């Protein structure tokens, strides 16, 4: 199968690089100086799992892409989803599956509404990956886990789902087919929201969240409140979600930070709406008390 990666940042670039290293047919959508550097030098990968590589991966702008893809991974930020729907339509054939890998809950159904003629799944990813220079991505740590699946009512062959899983596994990416992708994407939202918001609120790397004290307590409080929101929404939230989030945070590189935190520090547009304020809005709509979220939100309200 051939793959199209929309968004060649830390996540998309790492997926593309791992697939390419395994000999898979993959192309990337990028733009600006990042794209120019990929054209000139190739995509440079610094990876704790794979080492140092420079890969000649086909890359172009959304406007210049003229092929059809069997699998499209959407790896843009949540605020950019509306800008890629024309590309998804153009790049899809009747058997194409689209797998969004975003931090914000509800992305798969949102994209499906925007491109009703295309099969859209949903997914989430656990990775520390970031753009470390023009045409360059860095993957840190030993975790590279991608979870994906179809929502109820979305018809896609098991053969296709398993073929994607095989390609990812052969590329060194831990791939899991979800039987409840609504739950799994909410669990990821809970984790990345708590991680990104805590890091940005205190302006610290993950090593500070790994230590006992106020920073870690804030992370746990955010996780506890989002878990309660999930239960109120009727999602099958694990009883040990807070402990699970703490376990995951403890496996991260102590120097790592969330992309939202990086974007804020650079004065760039960030995912604060989807990772903080959308969760607060959902909690208010479902009558969930969220004192920790309200506390941290005061820092980010304009």
Q: How far, rounded to the nearest angstrom, does the alpha carbon of residue 187 sit from its chain's CA centroid?
A: 12
pLDDT for res 302: 66
Q: Which CATH architecture fits 2-179?
A: 3-Layer(aba) Sandwich (3.40)
Q: Assess if CATH 1.10.1040.10 describes domain 183-300.
A: yes
Average pLDDT estimate for 42-58:
97
Average pLDDT value for the chain: 95
Name the least confident of 41-55, 89-103, 254-268. 254-268
Average pLDDT over residues 204-215: 96
Q: Give span(s): CATH 3.40.50.720, the chain.
A: 2-179
Mean pLDDT along residues 276-292: 96
Whether residue 19 has pLDDT greater than 90? yes
pLDDT (tens digit, 9 = 90+) per residue, 178-206? Answer: 999 999 999 999 999 999 999 999 999 99
Look up the pTM and report it. Answer: 0.91
- The whole-number average pLDDT for the span 250-278 is 90
Residue 231 has pLDDT above 80, yes or no: yes
Give helix then strand counts, H and E, for the chain: 13, 11
Alpha carbon distances (Å) from 230 to 223, 246, 289: 11, 18, 13
Would you state the structure tokens that stand for residue 302, as one six-digit string?
Answer: 């304009």
pLDDT at 2 over 80: yes
Q: Is residue 17 very low, low, confident or very high in pLDDT (cuts 50, 70, 90)? A: very high
Dihedral angle of Cα 239, 244, 81, 268, to the nearest 10 degrees: 130
Report which of 105, 138, 141, 140 is spatially closest to residue 123, judged by C-alpha positions. 105
Q: Rounded mean pLDDT of 267-293? A: 94
* Rounded Cα distance, 13 and 139, in Å: 9
The pLDDT, as a whole number, for residue 161 is 96
| 206 and 257 Cβ atoms separated by less than 8 Å | yes
Q: Which pLDDT band holds residue 115 (cuts at 50, 70, 90)?
A: very high
Alpha carbons 124 and 145: distance in angstroms, whole number:
9
Residues of the chain with CATH 1.10.1040.10: 183-300
- Residues 143-181 have pLDDT tens digits of 899 999 999 889 999 999 999 999 999 999 999 999 999
Q: How far apart are CA 18 and CA 12, in angstroms?
A: 10
% of the chain beyond a pLDDT of 70:
100
Three-state SS sequence of 196-212: HHHHHHHCCCHHHHCCC
Share of the chain above pLDDT 90, in %: 87
82 pLDDT band (50/70/90 cuts)? confident
Rounded Cα gap, residues 199 and 59, in angstroms: 33
């Amino acid at each position: 199968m051939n793959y199209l990666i929309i968004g060649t940042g830390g996540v998309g670039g790492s997926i593309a690089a791992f697939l390419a290293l395994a000999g898979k047919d993959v192309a990337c959508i990028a733009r600006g100086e990042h794209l120019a550097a990929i054209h000139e030098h190739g995509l440079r990968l610094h990876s704790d799992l794979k080492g140092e590589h420079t890969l000649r991966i086909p890359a172009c702008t959304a406007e210049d892409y003229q092929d059809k893809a069997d699998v499209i991974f959407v790896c843009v930020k949540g605020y950019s989803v509306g800008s890629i729907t024309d590309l998804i339509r153009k790049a899809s054939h009747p058997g194409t599956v689209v797998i969004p890998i975003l931090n914000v809950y509800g992305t798969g159904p949102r994209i499906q509404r925007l491109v009703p003629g295309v099969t859209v799944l949903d997914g989430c990813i656990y990775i520390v990956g970031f753009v470390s220079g023009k045409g360059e991505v860095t993957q840190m740590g030993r975790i590279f886990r991608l979870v994906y699946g179809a929502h109820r009512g979305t018809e896609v062959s098991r053969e296709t789902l398993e073929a994607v899983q095989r390609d990812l596994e052969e590329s060194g990416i831990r791939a899991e087919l979800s039987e409840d992708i609504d739950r799994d994407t909410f669990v990821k939202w809970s984790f990345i929201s708590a991680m990104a918001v805590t890091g940005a609120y205190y302006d610290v790397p993950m090593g500070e969240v790994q230590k006992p004290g106020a920073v870690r307590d804030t992370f746990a409080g955010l996780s506890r409140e989002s878990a309660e929101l999930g239960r109120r929404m009727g999602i099958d939230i694990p009883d040990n979600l807070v402990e699970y989030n703490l376990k995951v945070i403890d496996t991260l590189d102590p120097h790592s930070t969330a992309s939202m935190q990086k974007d804020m520090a650079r004065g760039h547009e960030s995912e604060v709406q989807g990772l903080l304020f959308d969760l607060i809005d959902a909690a208010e709509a479902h009558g969930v008390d969220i004192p920790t979220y309200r506390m941290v939100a005061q820092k980010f309200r304009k």
